[in-house]
Amino acid sequence: MSDVQEVLRLEGLRKIYNPGTPQEQEVLHGVDLRLESGELTALIGPSGSGKSTLLNVIGLLDSPSAGELYLLGQPTRTLTDEARTRLRNEAIGFVFQFHHLISAFSVLDNVLMPLMIRRGKPLPEDIQLAEQLLAQVGLAGFSGKRAGQLSGGQQQRVAIARALVTRPALLLADEPTGNLDTRTAEQVFALFRDINREFGCAVLVVTHDPRLSASCRRSIELVDGRIVRDTGKAGHAEA
């Protein structure tokens, strides 16, 4: 097994909306969290608990009001927007409940999109990697199809391949099976477990499905912006 490294660390993370106004609302209250490479972790909690806010902050889509977020050892709170965008594109992959594919584009172009945003025209090795990822998610031979021609489960698999094409250290998934039927959801989550083992990236999955959270070696429960339960020690992908 490769050496384990700290991928993410949150120290006293707070998020306050509309500070200093009558509408001030603190959503995250001093969250401390550490994720290592190879961990597959579920983030659970009731609606309104702050899960989406926490995921947005972790994904560098929003900034904390206080505390610090370290990504691969780098403090991020005072980064410029340009530096934040660059780090997000290099180190984090995203999978959402709704796949956000461009339906008129080919499957291959959708997978390559993060790399094309980063440097324009994809390199031959980028295309080779994208094809390999499509094969790994069970879509070998689909690269030339338009994304809009695929089923919901197939489109989510394309979204997973797209999230992995940058070889991220951290993969964030927000209700990735929430829009799928039970059988397809189980297949997609099995794919997450396979990816976690093979790629060794840290995976954080927001889910309301108790079966899916039970499949993770670690489960973190967020209630009213605070972590109230963290079951399962830092666990790493098994060979």
First to last CA, the chain: 7
The model's confidence at residue 157, banded by pLDDT at 50, 70 and 90, is confident
pTM of the model: 0.85
- For 137-195, give the DSSP string: TT-TT-TTSBGGGS-HHHHHHHHHHHHHTT--SEEEEESTTTTS-HHHHHHHHHHHHHH
> Average pLDDT in the 114-132 region?
85
Give the pLDDT confidence of 53-80 residue by residue, as tens digits.
999 999 999 999 999 999 999 999 888 9
Q: Angle 97-231-217 (CA atoms, 0-180°, nearest 5)?
A: 60
- Residue pair 37/236 in contact (Cβ under 8 Å)? The answer is yes
Q: Are strands 25-36 and 6-17 parallel, antiparallel or unpaired?
A: antiparallel
DSSP element (H, E) containing 27: strand 25-36
Residues in the chain: 239
pLDDT greater than 70 at residue 120: yes
Closest CA to 72 of 63, 54, 60, 56: 60
pLDDT greater than 80 at residue 3: no
* Mean of pLDDT over the chain: 86
d(CA 215, CA 176): 14
Tell me which of 3.40.50.300, 3.30.360.10, 1.25.40.340, 3.30.9.100 is the CATH number of domain 6-102+151-231.
3.40.50.300
